[in-house]
Each structure stands twice: as C-alpha cells, then as structure tokens.
C-alpha cells in the first residue's frame, strides 16, 4: 500500500502559536499510536474515544483534527508529529507518529545490516524512477553485486526483500515491489531531499507521488485518490494543466462508511485474521 | 560495565528529573528543577525516581519512593561515578556544547527509545551511548534527564533503569489504569496472539512445551512450519529466532533425547511483562471458558496477582508490551 501526505493545517492564533496542553488523554493516545506504528482513521477515532473513556468520560470528544493539531503543537518543539496520509491506491486516510529530522533512514537503521539497507536504497531508487511506481524483483536482484558491505547472494536478497515486506517498508504485488504507505509517510522528507530530481509530485496535493495517473500530453501526475476527488461527478474530465481530455478511468472517492461495513462482514467470517493494511 | 561509562557517564541513576540540591533523601519534596539544565552538572548523587507528572507544561516534580531498583544501590553507584569523575576533572575538559545541541540530542534519544520500544527491542545503555549520544558522552546524564522529562510530560512514560546489572532501560507506563488498553482496539497485533498461544500452552503444561506440541496448537491457527504465512511470514523463524531474541521465549534442546528435539520455555521478558492472570484471561477468551476451568493455574495466577499487589501497592502493573493490541 502506498500513500501521499496531506498536511493537517496548523492552529494559529494571531501571530503567536498557541501550544496545547497535554493531559493523560493525549498521553495515552500518543503511547498507543506509537505502539501501533501506523493506523487507519477509523482505528484512530476509536483509539481517541477509548482514551477519553479511560481518563475523562464526561468530557466531549474533541474533533479528531483539532485533537491532533493540539497534540502536534506540543510535539513541534521535539521535531516529531502525528502525520496524516492517504494510501495511494485506495485513498484510505492513515496516521503515524513520525520524526521530522532527516538525519538518516532512522527507523530502519537498527534493524538491518549495511548491505540490507543498501538493498533497500537500490529498490527505492528503482521505484522512484519507474513509470508505474513498482520495481520488479528481477531488476532489484540484478543490483545485488553493487551493494555496499558484505557480499549478498540473490537468494539472500530475496529473503531480505521479504523482510522489508514484513516490517512494512515495502509491499509486493505479483513479483513487483513498491513502498508501503507507512514508508511513504515516514520517509517522504528523506526521499524528497535525497532524490530531488527524480522525485515525482502530485499536481493536486503537491505531495510525494509514487503511484498515480499521468496526463499523456503534458506529463503531469496525480494520485488516484486526488484524481477521484478532483474529477468527482465530472463527466468530461480534463487535465488541470493542459486541458486535454483525461484518458484514464476515474476511481471512486473513498467512503469510510462503505468500507467499515465491508470490514465488519469480513471480520465476522474470520475472527482470527487481523486486518490487512 | 564498560570503561567509558565508568569514567564519564554514570548510567546508574533512575533517569528521572531530579533536584540537584537534594542529596538523596527520598522523603523531601524538591522544588522545580529547571528543565533547561545547561552543561552537565556533576553535582551530587541523583535522587530516587519521582512520581507521575503534572498535566501542565510547567512541571514541578514531586518525589515518591522508588518503585523499582534499589535506591541505595543506585546512590552508591552514583557516588562511585562521582569519585571516578574527580580525577578526570583535573584534565582539561572540552568546551561544553551549546545548550541547543544538548536539547537536540535529548530529542534524538527520545525518538530512539520510543522506536526501540515500539519494536520491542531491549533498550541497552551502551547502545544508547554508541548510537545516539556519541561524542556527547560526558553530558549524557543531563541528556538522559531531559529525555526522561520529555517522555514523562508528553507521553506519560517513565524511562526506567530496570536492571542495574545488565544496564537495561525500559519504558514503563505512568498512567493509571493499566489494563484497559487491551480492549482499545480489537484489531489485534497478530504477533501478540501468536505469542500468547505459545506462552499459555507452556503455562498450562507447567513445564517446557515440546516443539511438536506447539505446532499442534498453531495448527489451530492454520500455521505450519513449512508454510509461509501472509501475516507472520516464516513462522518457525519467528518463534524460534525472533521471539527468542526478544527474550519472550527460550528454545532449548531436550536433554538426552535422540533424534534431537527442542522445547519452548517462557523467556525472561515474558516473565517480566506478562502476568499469569493475563494468560488466564487469554485462555478464557480463546476457549470461551471460565478461567477457573484450569483450577490450579488459576490459583497460581491469583497468588501471583496478590504477591504483585503486596510487593508494591503504589506501583503500576508491570508494563506489558502485549497488553495493547
């Protein structure tokens, strides 16, 4: 799964930025958000309600956007924030606590060896340079000889790629790899700074684009959920840049209600399986 | 203890904000300690851990008796650290870094600790020095102090030295009540269920569980040692290597058996983080029975719960990384 980043507007009061107050409700929320890594919006809302229930049942549950902005105003000075993104393929809103410092691919560094990290970087480059946002397993494995650190065989590299999938950095679809939505959310800044020329950007939301649709005339790109929103109920979609006819199928806008119903009926059938992101 | 930590950085304090004027008297409440402590104060021994923090950002720390670790041992070690620092003070000391740099290091350390905890890895002091503090070793005490202050104030977590001997830290929840998070999201972290399945099997058996028995149980979840699972991946690797590395399980050869067979035991981390009562509740949930359907185990769980309460009536339950799913 992949994502783009929509920035949550910051709360401003005149010229001074008001820093929010942390209560146990916010602290528990942060703890649990950190524990889970990345969460979908409906999970986040449930989490918020839970934290209110535990600490302050009488208070009205604040609107999620304000709640998160409040917490982010406190986190700002720590260079971390609760970041909201949208999965690139089906437009689900997701949230994660991310570090804004771009010193390194920090979260990965302690899990992987030098040659493994380099394999990831190579895969990342292929993904960014590709037209579709996917890099084939074959192409990645062919770069195994160029890796820094200990020599890695192709067989080993296959397993390392699976490790990336398990840790939710990459996603595999039919032998091809792209970035997991969590990776895009956490690494967007790092990616934009490291590959400023190769990086693609969505014409609508201006965030990092890995997967999307392009205009065949002028070449601008848009995320699938951005396309869905922009061309919603438009019978003659035209490119916002060159006005040429938009040749691709317009996807549906993500509807959380429909999604939840589908999820509930799925989970009734398979109680032991966890939800796939 | 590594050479460097003896000389310059003393890990043997509880990493809680403290008032440097109070010389280790647990009963006396201290005044607010300025969070903006500049260059390291090689001042007196650190006081025992402080109680839960205030909701507001301006934080006057209040002191409470030590919840874990022996305050006397910590104080002794702190004094030991001070004694070691005395001779080195005679040498020309490097220029203290700008306060902003120490603050930045504290933020890096905070993130480092949070991520280690998220991945359920051990937070080891020498790693902290190597990976984050680096050349700021000399000021690690003030960096650690600031980091704990931030973690307490913003996340409601205590950065606690859980083992003086192995220099391990852990993040302990400082919020009451503890147990409720388990039901927060029924979207379970799959690893937790898998681990609890194995731990409860071992617990019910009352001794090690043979690998074959474990696979019989995992078959219920549709898991096989030779099949890759969509969520768990290589299950065998997960339970025999990863969970063992994280100290949740022990995987040992059964003595005197040929051909070789292996069995699983609870790991030290499982014993620390998971209570027997939690296992009973898990069993009750999975098998839809009353926990008293395993009478002797239930009795054990009750006794453990009582012992925990008696040992520390003011303490929070041991933080379980599996309690929230």
The β-bridge relationship of strands A208-209 and A3-5 is: unpaired
Under an 8 A CB cutoff, do A46 and B189 touch? no
Q: Nearest by CB to B221, from A24, A103, A272: name it.
A: A272
Q: B180, A54: Cβ pair inside 8 Å?
A: yes
Nearest to A215 by CA among A242, A196, A187: A242
Q: Is residue A121 within 8 Å of A208, Cβ to Cβ?
A: no
A139 touches chain B (CB under 8 A): no
- Other CB atoms within 10 A of residue B261 CB: 12
Compute CA B28 distance to the chain's CA centroid, rounded to the nearest angstrom: 27
Report d(CA A211, CA A209) in Å as an integer: 6
Query: pLDDT-derived band of residue A206, with 50, 70 and 90 as boundaries?
Result: very high
Q: What is the mean pLDDT of residues A243-250?
A: 91
Q: Coil, strand or helix: which one is B35?
A: coil
Q: Is A213 helix (H, G, I), strand (E, B) or coil?
A: strand
pLDDT tens for residues A35-59?
888 899 988 999 999 888 888 778 8
Using CA atoms in the order A218, A223, A226, A232, what is the torsion angle rounded to 10 degrees?
A: 70
Distance (Å, whole) CA B153 – CA A23: 9
pLDDT value for A1: 43
A193: pLDDT strictly greater than 90:
no
Element (H, E) at B45: none
Encoded tokens for A125: 């480059």
State how far residue A76 is from chain B, nearest Cα, in angstroms: 11
CB pairs A-B closer than 8 Å: 98
Q: What SS3 state is found at A138?
A: helix
CA distance B33 to B49: 14
Phi, then psi, of B236 in degrees rounded to 5: -60, -40
Distance CA A118, CA B238 (A): 24
* pLDDT (0 to 100) of residue B186: 40
Contact A34 B190 (CB under 8 A): no
* A67 band by pLDDT with thresholds 50, 70 and 90: very high
Beta-carbon contacts of residue A262 (< 8 Å; ≥ 6 apart): none
What's the rounded Cα separation, in Å, for the pair B205 and B75? 42
Query: Taking the CA atoms of chain B, what radius of gyration do you get in angstroms?
Result: 22
Tell me the sheet residues that pair with B169.
B123, B161
User: In the numeric block, which tokens belong to residue A87?
Assistant: 């999965």
Look at residue A213 and tell me whether its pLDDT is greater than 90: yes
Structure tokens at B269: 């981390």
Taking a C-beta distance cutoff of 8 angstroms, is the pair B185, A28 a contact? no
A101 versus A97: the higher-pLDDT residue is A97
Mean per-residue pLDDT, A163-168: 86
Enter the tokens of residue A259: 């999604």
**CB A179 within 8 Å of CB A124:** yes
In this prediction, residue A136 has a pLDDT band, given cuts at 50, 70 and 90, of: very high
Question: Which H or E run contains A263?
Answer: helix A256-269
Three-class DSSP labels, B191-237: HHHHHHHHHHHHHHHCCCEEHHHHHHHHHCCCCCCCCEECCCEEHHH
* Closest CA relative to residue A258, chosen from A139, A129, A24, A92: A92
Strands, DSSP E only, in chain B? 123-124, 157-163, 168-173, 209-210, 228-229, 233-234, 249-253, 262-266
- Residues of B within 8 A of A107 (CB-CB) are 115
Closest CA of chain B from A192, distance in Å: 21
Residue A156: pLDDT over 80: yes
How far is the C-alpha of B77 from the C-alpha of B6, rounded, in Å? 10
Rg (CA), chain A: 20
Kindly list the residues from chain A whose CB atom is less than 8 angstroms away from the CB atom of residue B153.
22
DSSP-based three-state secondary structure for A187: helix
Q: How many CB atoms lie within 10 A of CB A229?
A: 17
Q: Does A23 touch chain B (CB under 8 A)?
A: yes
Beta strands of A30-99 (E only): which ranges? 38-40, 80-87, 93-99
Secondary structure class of A118 (helix, strand, coil): helix
Can you give the pLDDT at residue A44? Answer: 93
Q: What distance lies between CA B85 and its chain's CA centroid?
A: 28
Query: What order of strands is seen across the sheet that includes strand B209-210?
Result: B209-210, B262-266, B249-253
Quick check: B180 and A50 CB within 8 A? yes
Is A264's Cβ below 8 Å from some Cβ in B? Answer: no
Which residue spans within chain A are E strands per DSSP? 3-5, 38-40, 80-87, 93-99, 135-136, 170-173, 176-179, 200-201, 208-209, 213-214, 221-222
Does B324 sit within 8 Å of A46, measured CB to CB? no
Mean pLDDT of chain A: 83
Per-residue pLDDT of chain B (325 residues; tens, 9 = 90+): 333 333 334 444 333 333 333 333 333 333 333 333 333 332 333 333 333 333 333 333 333 333 333 444 443 444 444 444 444 444 555 677 788 888 989 998 999 999 888 888 888 999 888 888 888 888 989 999 999 999 999 998 989 888 888 888 888 877 655 544 544 444 444 567 788 889 989 998 888 899 999 998 888 778 888 887 776 777 888 888 888 888 889 999 888 888 889 999 998 888 877 888 888 888 888 778 888 888 888 888 888 888 887 776 554 444 444 444 3
Give yes or no for a cis peptide into B138 (omega within 30° of 0).
Answer: no
Contact residues on chain A for B150, CB-CB shorter than 8 A: 78
> Which of A210, A244, A212 lies closest to A227, judged by CA?
A212
Which phi and psi angles does B224 have, rounded to 5°? -130, 150
Cβ-Cβ contacts under 8 Å, B231 against chain A = 273-274, 276
- Phi, psi dihedrals of residue B267, rounded to the nearest 5°: -90, 170
Q: Do B114 and A34 touch (CB under 8 A)?
A: yes
Of A195, A251, A194, give the one whose Cα is nearest residue A222: A251
What per-residue confidence (pLDDT) applies to A17?
Answer: 52
- Residues of B with Cβ-Cβ distance to A110 under 8 angstroms: 115-116, 119, 121, 131
Total length of chain B: 325
């Amino acid at each position: 799964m992949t994502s783009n980043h929509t920035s949550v507007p910051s709360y401003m009061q005149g010229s001074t930025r008001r820093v929010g107050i942390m209560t146990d409700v916010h602290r528990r929320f942060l703890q649990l958000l950190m524990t889970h890594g990345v969460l979908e919006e409906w999970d986040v809302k449930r989490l918020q309600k839970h934290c209110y229930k535990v600490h302050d049942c009488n208070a009205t549950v604040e609107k999620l956007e304000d709640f998160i902005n409040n917490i982010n105003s406190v986190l700002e000075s720590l260079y971390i924030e609760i970041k909201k993104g949208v999965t690139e393929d089906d437009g689900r809103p997701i949230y994660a606590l991310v570090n804004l410092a771009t010193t390194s691919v920090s979260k990965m560094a302690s899990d992987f060896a030098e040659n493994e990290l380099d394999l990831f970087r190579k895969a990342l480059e292929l993904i960014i340079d590709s037209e579709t946002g996917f890099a084939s397993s074959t192409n990645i494995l062919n770069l195994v000889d160029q890796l820094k650190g200990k020599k890695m065989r192709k067989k080993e590299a296959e397993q390392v790629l699976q490790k990336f999938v398990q840790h939710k950095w990459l996603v595999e679809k039919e032998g091809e790899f792209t970035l997991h939505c969590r990776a895009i959310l956490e690494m967007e800044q790092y990616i934009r700074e490291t590959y400023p020329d190769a990086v693609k950007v969505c014409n609508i939301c201006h965030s990092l684009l890995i997967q999307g649709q392009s205009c065949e005339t002028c070449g601008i790109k848009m995320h699938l959920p951005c396309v869905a929103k922009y061309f919603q109920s438009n019978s003659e979609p035209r490119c916002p840049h060159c006005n040429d006819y938009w040749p691709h199928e317009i996807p549906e806008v993500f509807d959380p209600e429909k999604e939840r119903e589908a999820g509930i009926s799925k989970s009734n059938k398979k109680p032991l399986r966890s939800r796939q992101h | 203890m590594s050479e460097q930590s003896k000389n310059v950085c003393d890990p043997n304090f509880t990493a809680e904000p403290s008032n440097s004027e109070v010389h280790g008297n647990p009963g006396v409440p201290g005044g607010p300690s300025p969070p903006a402590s500049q260059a390291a104060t090689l001042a007196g021994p650190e006081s025992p851990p402080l109680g839960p923090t205030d909701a507001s950002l301006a934080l006057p720390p209040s002191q409470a008796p030590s919840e874990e670790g022996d305050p006397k041992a910590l104080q002794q070690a702190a004094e030991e650290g001070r004694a070691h620092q005395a001779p080195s003070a005679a040498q020309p000391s490097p220029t203290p870094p700008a306060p902003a740099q120490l603050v930045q290091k504290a933020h890096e350390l905070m993130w480092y600790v949070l991520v280690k905890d998220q991945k359920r890895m051990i937070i080891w002091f020498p790693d902290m020095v190597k990976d984050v503090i680096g050349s700021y070793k000399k000021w690690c005490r003030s960096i650690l102090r600031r980091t704990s202050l931030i973690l307490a104030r913003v996340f409601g977590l205590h950065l606690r030295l859980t083992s003086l001997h192995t220099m391990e830290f852990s993040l302990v929840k400082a919020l009451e009540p503890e147990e409720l998070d388990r039901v927060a999201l029924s979207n379970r972290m799959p690893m937790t269920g898998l681990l609890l399945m194995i731990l409860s099997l071992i617990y019910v058996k009352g001794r090690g569980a043979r690998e074959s028995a474990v696979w019989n149980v995992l078959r219920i979840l549709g898991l096989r040692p030779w099949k890759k699972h969509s969520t768990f991946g290589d299950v065998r690797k997960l339970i025999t290597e990863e969970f063992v590395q994280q100290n949740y399980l022990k995987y040992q050869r059964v003595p005197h058996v040929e051909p070789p067979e292996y069995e699983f035991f609870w790991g030290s981390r499982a014993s620390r983080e998971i209570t027997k009562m939690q296992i009973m509740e898990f069993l009750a949930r999975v098998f839809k029975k009353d926990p008293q359907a395993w009478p002797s185990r239930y009795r054990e769980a009750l006794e453990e719960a009582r012992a925990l309460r008696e040992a520390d009536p003011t303490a929070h339950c041991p933080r379980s990384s599996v309690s929230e799913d």
